[in-house]
Amino acid sequence: MNDQQNSDNTNLAPASAHALLVRKMPFSFTDIFDPHWNNSKPEWSHMVNGASLAMPFLEPYLIKTMRKALEKIGDETLRNEVKLYMGQEAQHYQQHRRFNDLLIKQGYPELLGIEEQMKADFAHFEKNRSLKFNLAYACGFESMALGIGHWLVNNRDSLFGGSDSRVASLILWHFVEEIEHKNVAFDAYQTVYGNYFYRVYGTLFATAHVVKYSRKAYQAMLKKDGLWTNLSSRWALLKIITKFFANMLPALMTACLPGHHPSTIKDPQWCIDWVNTYNRGNRELAVLDTNNLKTSFSYNHQTRDLNNDR
């Protein structure tokens, strides 16, 4: 297959039911912040913190990759979706940058070295790897993010129940939008290249790469907290890691099937409700009631006065 243009674009999404939307969420983080934002699950807290650490490096890389891909995409509908995707990813990494800066300030300077490693990796990919590799990475990462997003949303009560509303709201917003733009990187790869085996390679490579750095980060934080050598903590970590992979691996296997397209995966109803709630102008989504995540979006009245001007 010609690497510059895919001759078979049948594996593309149908027209979107609604346009993507770039949302500027009014999250409010202060210096009064516990890195164990889910007090009953410090190991899970640091797994999420570790994944967050990658976002200010990964997502600008995805944006630069998709911007280069735009030069090879003629379809105006897909071009517009790529631009909106880039806008959503820009909001994601800016919000995670603020969160990560606060996390590091709370006593984890070790994370700065891991950030430098990630920065160097993504700079190397951008400078020395082909657009085909970078676009396959983007497509693969989004396949992984789609599976994780479904797990987070479908298990939101057990994972985020009773936790710091600001963190839970940040993570769930991020993955609602990952689910929302699930088709874009896949369609861009299919349009520009479309090679099936290279897409599978990109999916596996991106997954292993992000997981590697997330693990480095949460391991560093657990060591700093004195939890890494604690047997009960390691057992709790093993249980949540097992749940993570038990849910992510089937999604990855599905993404690697010939003929797969993410549009065939039905969005969780809670995501649809989240989008509809946002569209009504409700601001509660930045401060979800983590004691009532099963059925509703209940506004936390104590934070009603935060950031009233969007």
DSSP for 156-197, written as a single string: HHHHHTTS-HHHHHHHHHHHHHHHHTTTHHHHHHHHHT--HH
What are 160-195's pLDDT values in tens digits?
999 999 999 999 999 999 999 999 999 999 999 999
Q: Are 174 and 303 in contact (CB under 8 A)?
A: no
Query: Structure tokens of 156?
Result: 């939101």
Buried b (16+ CB within 10 A) or exposed e, 198-217: bbbbbbbebbebbbebbebb
Instruction: Kindly report the pTM of this predicted structure.
Output: 0.90
Full set of structural domains in the chain with CATH: 42-303 (1.10.620)
The one-digit pLDDT tens for each residue of the chain (310 residues) are 344 444 444 566 554 446 899 999 999 887 778 999 999 999 999 999 999 999 999 999 999 999 999 999 999 999 999 999 999 999 999 999 999 999 999 999 999 999 999 999 999 999 999 999 999 999 999 999 999 999 999 999 999 999 999 999 999 999 999 999 999 999 999 999 999 999 999 999 999 999 999 999 999 999 999 999 999 999 999 999 999 999 999 999 999 999 999 999 999 999 999 999 998 887 789 989 999 887 656 444 333 333 333 3
Query: Structure tokens of 282?
Result: 């409700």
DSSP annotation of 299 reads: B
User: Helical H runs in the chain?
Assistant: 42-70, 76-105, 111-128, 131-154, 156-160, 165-180, 184-192, 196-224, 231-255, 269-279
